[in-house]
Amino acid sequence: MGNLFWIGIVAALVFGFWVDAFSAYQYHHFNETEFSLLEAQEQAYSSLFGRFPLMVGLTLIQSAAAKGAVCLDGTLPGYHLHRGYGSGANSWIVNLEGGGWCNDVRSCVYRKKTRRGSSTFMEKQIPFTGILSNSAEDNPDFFNWNRVKIRYCDGASFAGDGEHKAAQLQFRGQRIWLAAIEDLMSKGMRFAKQALLSGCSAGGLATIIHCDEFRGFFPHTTKVKCLSDAGLFLDAIDVSRGHTIRNFFSGVVGLQGVQKNLPASCTNHLDPTLCFFPQNLIAGVRTPLFILNTAYDSWQIQSSLAPSSADPRGYWHDCRLNHAKCTASQIQYLQGFRNQMLNAMKGFSRSYQNGLFINSCFAHCQSERQDTWFADNSPVVGNKAIALAVGDWYFDRAVVKAIDCPYPCDNTCHHLVFR
């Protein structure tokens, strides 16, 4: 009966936000106006494709308020923790939740009335799938680790520290990050022999920003690495030759007081906004880092490269929703975006300790969805699924620098298609 209840909850979550199913398994259809909810429901969606998902309860960080470590609306931050066992009892994955950003007072005021800005609206239980799964069959290398998802309720990739008194907004992402880590340390993470910081999208960017800081919480004897999934947001020029994403990030950094929490190795020679772009940070990350990204990231195509604001005549409308409807010249433009991504990682990829998995798919976030992380028909590069590539890299079983051939050569993709 309990399982039936949770199936109902998961199904309601999914179909409440995604009005279409998919006509072929590899092509997942969404309503364009609901794309911003993609990250929010990744786990619920993926759970429908596997066994009953593990549901993990929300823990509010009671000590956070005294540190001023609060969500946008002043409520307590939280996380979901599922304990490890056996050989994984002293190993920890800390996953930073994604979910976009807010770049002005109006968007942050809206955000504080959602689960992305207030623990009042957070789900009390969420499914753990993909890299957070407790099934050896679904997550072969990390299933029995201590697995944590830190909820995202600040809107600046856990990096801001400021406030807007008139609008009653608290920008305390950096404090939330520190309060969560401190709380987890008190619950046994200080004894970790192995640790992995991960995150998807805005959480993937947060992983890059905080990677070396995370390393610093542990003794040198602890093996510590970081995994950024769909976090490689490029400082790209949009289809109208404008800087949509740079202007957006400038609002996030300026409003939320992010500058002081960005690496000084970047801010001492670049504008703070440019230091919110991973391409200007990854070369300075000293801790082993794995970058998992699609070469044609769906979020970046829709919100950075070809947003409706940069495409007033709608030339990109169909292509933005469905890559199969792109013209030859549009595909050529997107190949240029892929080239920019690969060029941004050239120096990073030369380091022996770093890992790469860049597949030629139109998707966004692949580590927390079961169908893309590890399943019978998961995406592969060189016959290796993402879960195996990450595991090989983390445990030093192999050097992993997997870069796919350009679209349309990969027939293992789980493309996202929007209505």
Measure the CA–CA gap between 101 and 304, rounded to whole angstroms.
13
Give residue 188's identity as a one-letter amino acid code.
Answer: G
What token pair was written down for 167?
């609008």
Measure the CA–CA gap between 18 and 215, rounded to whole angstroms.
38
Does the annotation count 104 as an active-site position?
no
Catalytic residue among 154, 297, 371, 404: 297
Catalytic residue among 28, 80, 323, 364: 364
Q: Half-sphere exposure (CA, 13 Å, Cβ side) for 319?
A: 21
Does the annotation count 47 as an active-site position?
no
- On whether the CB atoms of residues 383 and 326 are closer than 8 A, the answer is no
pTM: 0.91
Catalytic residue among 133, 201, 298, 303: 201
Does the annotation count 364 as an active-site position?
yes
Provide the strand spans (E) within 180-288: 194-200, 223-229
Question: By C-alpha distance, which of 204, 119, 126 is closest to 170?
Answer: 119
List C-alpha distances in Å: 349 to 142, 294, 346, 394, 397. 24, 16, 5, 15, 17
What token pair was written down for 106?
């109006």
Reading the chain (419 residues) residue by residue, the pLDDT tens digits are 334 334 444 433 333 333 222 223 345 444 443 344 454 444 444 444 446 899 999 999 999 999 999 999 999 999 999 999 999 999 999 999 999 999 999 999 999 999 999 999 999 999 999 999 999 999 999 999 999 999 999 999 999 999 999 999 999 999 999 999 999 999 999 999 999 999 999 999 999 999 999 999 999 999 999 999 999 999 999 999 999 999 999 999 999 999 999 999 999 999 999 999 999 999 999 999 999 999 999 999 999 999 999 999 999 999 999 999 999 999 999 999 999 999 999 999 999 999 999 999 999 999 999 999 999 999 999 999 999 999 999 999 999 999 999 999 999 999 999 98
- On whether the CB atoms of residues 389 and 355 are closer than 8 A, the answer is yes
